[in-house]
């Protein structure tokens, strides 16, 4: 399937062919699909994941299909590992031109009043500080090359709406959106854009348990105006657009990709059966 996609690529309009693209958390889910689709568009892809075996499988799939990819085992919360990863990208593929900060950790789920601060800090280290470190390290290559570049941070609907008992997750994703805006301003002089994409409910290996019970899966599906749970491809398509030349004037923005669920709040709040009388205003 991937081989046929690369052979019949219709995404040249994105202007990603030949670009060196780095995707973190690319061993599965949204990151893996983004790496595959970037390869279909002709990009050279660095597949980074703390699970080295998973990263290797994704890179091998791309290479078998005629694309170009390398796999790197690295934890984004370990700055020296990211420095080493960047050196390998530069050596094997060339200077990074597109960075997709996708690595994330859901981590501890429980009330804030009893959250374990070690787990809290680990969530921030991966979801927020890790994105900053990757931006620092890989934009250094972009700046040195002098050709501009693009960063896309994968945030979450939980950065817009608080997830109760979610530990640091909502806080880290909200922070990631602010980091996106700050990077957009500070990197503009180097012609480097930075935007974020916020997934809603998406079916991935990391969220599979949430859909193992039919009642819960169907309940979630019914709440989404688009009538279905999102798939990794839905997010990969938007991430690629944000990273591409077609989005050249998009900077510092967050794109919420959730099938419209965040617009449905007023539709699910109980209300009286008959219309309210007019107030004349």
Residues with catalytic annotation?
Answer: 169
Quick one: how far is CA 220 from the chain centroid? 21
Cα–Cα distance between 67 and 37 in angstroms, integer? Answer: 10
3-class SS at 107?
A: coil
- Read off φ and ψ for residue 193, nearest 5 degrees: -90, 155
**Strand, helix or coil at 265?**
helix
Compute CA 203 distance to the chain's CA centroid, rounded to the nearest angstrom.
Answer: 14
Q: Which residues contact 210 (CB under 8 A, 6 or more apart)?
A: 216, 217, 220
- Token pair of 252 as six digits: 């510092």
- CA dist list (Å): 110 to 114, 168, 172, 274: 7, 10, 15, 40
Contact 239, 197 (CB under 8 A): yes
Q: Where are the beta strands (DSSP E) in the chain?
A: 20-24, 44-49, 68-73, 98-101, 149-154, 192-199, 254-257
Question: Which 3 state secondary structure label does DSSP give 204?
Answer: coil
Residue with tokens 């002089």: 189
For every residue of 219-262, which 3-state class applies, written as one string? HHHHHCCCCCCECHHHHHHHHHHHHCHHHCCCCCCEEEECCCHH
């Amino acid at each position: 399937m991937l081989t046929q996609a690369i052979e019949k690529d219709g995404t040249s309009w994105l202007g990603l062919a030949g670009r060196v693209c780095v995707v973190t958390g690319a061993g599965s889910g949204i990151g893996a699909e983004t790496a595959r689709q970037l390869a279909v568009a002709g990009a050279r892809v660095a597949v980074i994941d703390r699970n080295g075996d998973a990263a290797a499988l994704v890179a091998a799939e791309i290479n078998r299909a005629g694309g170009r990819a390398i796999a790197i085992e690295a934890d984004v919360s370990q700055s020296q590992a990211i420095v080493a990863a960047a050196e390998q990208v530069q050596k094997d593929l060339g200077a990074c031109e597109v960075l997709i900060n996708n690595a994330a950790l859901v981590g501890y789920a429980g009330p804030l009043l009893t959250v374990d601060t070690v787990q809290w800090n680990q969530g921030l280290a991966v979801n927020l500080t890790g994105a900053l470190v990757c931006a620092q390290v890989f934009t250094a290559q972009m700046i040195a090359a002098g050709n501009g570049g693009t960063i896309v941070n994968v945030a979450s609907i939980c950065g817009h709406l608080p997830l109760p008992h979610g530990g640091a997750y909502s806080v880290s994703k909200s922070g990631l959106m602010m980091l996106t805006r700050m990077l957009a301003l500070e990197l503009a002089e180097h012609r480097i854009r930075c935007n974020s994409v916020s997934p809603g409910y998406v079916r991935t290996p990391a969220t599979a348990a949430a859909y193992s019970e039919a009642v819960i899966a169907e309940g979630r599906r019914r709440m989404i105006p688009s009538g279905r749970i999102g798939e990794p491809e839905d997010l990969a398509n938007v991430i690629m657009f944000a990273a591409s030349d077609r989005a050249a004037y998009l900077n510092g923005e967050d794109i919420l990709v959730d099938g419209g669920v965040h617009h449905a709040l007023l539709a699910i709040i109980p209300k009286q059966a008959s219309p309210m009388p007019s107030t004349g205003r």
